Structure 1
C-alpha cells in the first residue's frame, strides 16, 4: 500500500502528498454555513493534522462562506513548503443556504481571485471545477476559463469534481486534467441517487483515473460510507480492534493506489481516529471478505 501519491506526475511541477488528506468542510457551522461552534478546536484540528503528516487539505470558498479558507490561513500561514491546499470552484451559496452554479468564465475568475485572497496565496496548487449538472455553460467554456487561469499562473493544476466517466473523458480531451474529486467509498462504487440529485462516478471513473494516472479524491467517504447492515465491516473492524469508520478509510487506501481519501471531522478525537486508520493493514483475506 503506497504511503504517498503524486499529482500530475508527468508535469513540470508534480506534487507528491501523503495518501491520507483532510477535508475541511465539516469545520463550518450547521448546513456548511457560518463559523464553527468551537473555533479553537477547529484551528487545533488543522494544526494537529499537519503536524501528524497530513499535507493535503481540501477546501472551497463556498464553505462557510470563506470560513474554511480563513481558518486554514489563521492556523497554518505561512504555509509549509510541502503543504498542498486544494480548493473548488463552480458553485456558490445563496442566503437561503441553497447550492447553485457559479460557473460562467467571469464567475470562475472571481472565485479563483477570492480563494487566493482568503488563503493568502499567489497561486493555488490544485483547483477542482465542480460540475453542477446540465446547464447553460458548456464544459469546454468552463474548463477553458480554468486552463486560461492556469496559463496566467493563478492555478498550478486543474481537476474536475462530481463527474461521470464520460465527462472526465471529455475533460481530458480539452486539456491537462490532474485529479478527480467524486463521492466514493466502500459502499459507494456505483452511481447513487441522492437527495440533491445523482452522484456520478464510481468504479468506472476510478478505472479511467488509473489509466491516466489521476488521483481520485473521495469526498463524503464517511458521511454516507457504510452499508446497512454492517456485518462484514464490523467483523473486519473487530479483527483489527478498529472502528467501522476506520475500516472504511483503510479499505480506500488498499482498494487502489490512485485513491487519496480526505475524511473530514469537526472533532479532534475523531481526527486522531481517522489518522490512525492509515496504520491498519488489511490482508488479502480481509479485502476478499469485504468484497
Structure 2
C-alpha cells in the first residue's frame, strides 16, 4: 500500500500548514554532542538547500541546538523563505556551558526563547512552536502552556504543539487550547510514546490520542533508536526489497499512521536522498504483519 505524503498541521485554524512527508530534523547539523558549529558548515548549508530541491518543506530546529547553530544555518541556506516553508522550533530547554541539557520553562524563560527564535530565524511570527519540559523539571506545565497560548494570542506564534509530552500533559493542554502537533520519541524499536513509561512494545499511547483528534505526530530519534540494535525482520525485508534499513524504518513509520510526520536527520546528502525516497516505498499488509 502507498501512503499519502502530505499532512495538514493546525486543521482547526484559519491558516493550516501543509507539510510534505518526511521532513528534516536539523539537530545533527551541529558539532559533537550537538554543540557548536558543524565540521563542514558549507556542506551543511548545501544539504539544507538539497532538501528543498527534493521537496522537503518541513524543518525541525531549536534555539538550543548548538546553541543557536541550526537556526542560523537555516537562515543562511534558505532565507528569504518561500511561502510554503515550515520551520518548527521548540522551547522549554537550554544548554549549560558544560553542554548539559537544562529546563527553561518558566514564563519569562519561555518568552525569552520565543524572542530568541524570532530573532535568529529572522521572522515576525513563528510558524510552529513545540513546548516541552524535562520529566524532572520543577516548572509548572499549565503555567508554561498558558504562557505559550498568550504568546500565540499576541501574534508571535502561528501554531502551538507539544514535545516530550506525557498523556497527562497532552490532556491538560487540550483542555486549555488547540494542540497543532506533538513531537515525541517513537520508532520501530521503541514504540512507547509517553516519556514517563518504560520502553517496550506496548503501543503508542500519545500517538493514539493524536490519531483520535487528527493531530500530526512527529517522531524524533526514529532512526537512532532502531538502527543501532539488530532488527532481524527489518534487515531481512530490506534486503528482499533492495532498500536500506534506514529507508525501511522511515517507510514503516509512514505506514503506521496518516498523521505520522517523520523528521530523519543526517549530515550526508546521499542519506538525505535515500530518506526522502523512502516515502515512495510501498509496504503490503503482509509485509507490515511480518515486521510486527
Q: TM-score, normalised by structure 1?
A: 0.95
Query: Residue in 1 aligned with 2:53?
Result: 51
Cα offset, 1:228, TM superposition: 3.9
| Equivalences, count | 289
Query: Residue in 2 aligned with 1:173?
Result: 175
Q: 1:15 aligns with which of 14, 17, 20?
A: 17
What pairs with 1:205-224 in structure 2 (closer than 5 Å)? 205-224=206-225
C-alpha distance in 1, partners of 2:144/2:194?
25
Q: Note the alpha carbon deviations across 1:241-284, whole angstroms, 9 max, x for none.
A: 01111100000001111100000011112111111211111111
**Aligned 8 A contact 2:194 2:206 in 1:** no
Of 201-210 and 33-42, the range deviating more from structure 2: 201-210
Query: Residue in 1 aligned with 2:84?
Result: 82
**Aligned 8 A contact 2:191 2:199 in 1:** no
Of 113-122 and 128-137, the range deviating more from structure 2: 128-137
**Aligned 8 A contact 1:215 1:260 in 2:** yes
SS of the residue 1:177 aligns to: coil
**Aligned 8 A contact 1:186 1:226 in 2:** no
Q: Note the alpha carbon deviations across 1:84-124, whole angstroms, 9 max, x for none.
A: 00000000000100000001001000000000000010000
**Aligned 8 A contact 1:44 1:75 in 2:** yes
Query: Residue in 1 aligned with 2:233?
Result: 232
C-alpha distance in 2, partners of 1:227/1:203?
21
Query: Residue in 2 aligned with 1:65?
Result: 67
Structure 1, unmatched stretches of 5+, are none
**Aligned 8 A contact 2:44 2:73 in 1:** yes
**Aligned 8 A contact 1:28 1:36 in 2:** yes
Cα offset, 1:229, TM superposition: 3.3
Query: Residue in 2 aligned with 1:289?
Result: 290
Q: TM-score, normalised by structure 2?
A: 0.95
Query: Residue in 1 aligned with 2:103?
Result: 101
What pairs with 1:191-202 in structure 2 (closer than 5 Å)? none
**Aligned 8 A contact 1:92 1:99 in 2:** yes
Q: Note the alpha carbon deviations across 1:20-49, whole angstroms, 9 max, x for none.
A: 100000000000000000111100110010
SS of the residue 1:88 aligns to: strand
Structure 2, unmatched stretches of 5+, are none
**Aligned 8 A contact 2:185 2:193 in 1:** no
